[in-house]
Copies of this chain bind each other. A is one copy, B any other.
Amino acid sequence: MSELLSKASFQGTVAMLLANPDREAGLEKQERDDLMLRFEGPEGDCHGGLTRKSDVRMIKQFKRGTEVRNARQLSILSEEELAEVAAKMGIQAVKPEWVGANIVTRGIPDLTLLPPSTRLQFPSGAMITIDIENLPCRYPADIIKSHNPDQKLGFVAAARNKRGVVGWVEAEGLIRSGDPITVWIPPQRIYAHG
């Protein structure tokens, strides 16, 4: 694998960390100074766990509620993309806590377009593997609209390809606000038979 992953020419920074211990409290999360990443997911966040119930996102693959490995332990968005989405929506900001973010990055261009199996590495040794981009859905859209009744465009339309990525913990460790993020990218090529 040392030959498979290439270190990106840029480095990111952790702009903000968030967690929400209580799923019943809704999607909105609270800011944190640091976050301990365990194989089970980020400590103190309700979206952790080694497995989860499959939802509408994989309805073509699984009956809803099927127990599947949790490749969505963390939701990662970028400050730059959030600002672009807000601009498109004609609102001042899309706050990370409205969209269920655990990590907000700065300095990773087109975060949402990072290839699957990209690795994000932190100074403690913590490592997150990206599964796939996240799709904008109704839940955050409703929260944002409740805060911004005068929005010009809805979140689902504005956030397409800018809603960040989801991933899982490959190596445990503490991550802190302000940490640099090293990005490791897998071989890139288009599969010809898709």
Contact = CB atoms under 8 A, between A and B. Distances in A.
A31 to B, nearest CB: 27
B171 A67 contact: yes
A7 B61 CA distance: 10
Most buried by B among A1, A71, A192: A1
A101 to B, nearest CB: 18
A186 B194 CA distance: 9
A1 B57 contact: yes
Interface in A107-122: 109-110, 113-117, 119, 121
Contact of A135 (B1, B57, B190, B194): B1
B71 A129 contact: yes
A56 interface: yes
Contacts of A6: 194
Nearest to A60: B2
Interface string A156-194: 000000000000111110000000000011111111111
Contacts of A184: 61
Nearest to A57: B1
Contacts of A131: 117, 129
A132 B50 contact: no
Contact of A190 (B5, B10, B56, B188): B188
A127 interface: yes
A110 B116 CA distance: 18
Contact of A61 (B5, B135, B172): B5
- Name the 4 nearest CB pairs between A and B, nearest first: A116-B117, A1-B57, A116-B116, A185-B194
Interface of A: 1-10, 39, 50-51, 54, 56-62, 66-69, 71, 109-110, 113-117, 119, 121, 125, 127, 129, 131-133, 135, 168-172, 184-194
